[in-house]
Amino acid sequence: MPTALALLIGMPELGQLSREQAAALIGLAPFDRDSGQHKGQRHIAGGRARPRTAIYAAALPAAYRWNSQLVALYKRLTENGKPHKVALVACARKLVIFANTVLQRDKPWTASLNGCSW
């Protein structure tokens, strides 16, 4: 199933949510495991599995070559020591934010969309 179709079917609310709500609904929002003085690792959990799988699969080639903003994000995160999969999840989250913004504004995606900044 194409990614756009998977997002529209799996997340009909897309375009009516904030960027944080969209990321949490698909299951790509980072949650912390902190307790008292202990600072635990961040993780993703929950959300809708089918659109999350589709957007993660779309983030794989986009993070390497197709989207200059995602290439820059992936490169910055990996150069700062983040693992490969953590950087890919961040790119997938960014793709959800892009899709949400496009649907909110009802305009085609361009690299200079305000509200999609890092």
Identify whether the C-beta of residue 63 lies closer than 8 Å to the C-beta of residue 70: yes
Identify whether the C-beta of residue 102 lies closer than 8 Å to the C-beta of residue 108: yes
Query: How many folded domains does the chain comprise?
Result: 1
Structure confidence by residue, pLDDT tens digits, 101-113: 999 998 887 776 5
Burial class (CB in 10 A: 0-12, 13-18, 19+), 82: middle
Residue 117, domain member (yes or no): no
Residue 112, domain member (yes or no): no
Do the strands 31-32 and 42-43 form a parallel or antiparallel pair, or are they unpaired? antiparallel
Determine the Cα–Cα distance for residues 94 and 80; give it in Å rounded to an integer.
Answer: 18
pTM: 0.84
Structure confidence by residue, pLDDT tens digits, 68-100: 889 999 999 999 999 999 999 999 999 999 999
Structure confidence by residue, pLDDT tens digits, 19-51: 999 999 999 988 888 788 888 788 888 889 999
pLDDT score, position 37: 86
* Domain region containing 11: 3-105
pLDDT score, position 66: 84
Residue 26, domain member (yes or no): yes
Residue 110, domain member (yes or no): no
Residue 111, domain member (yes or no): no
Residue 116, domain member (yes or no): no
Residue 93, domain member (yes or no): yes
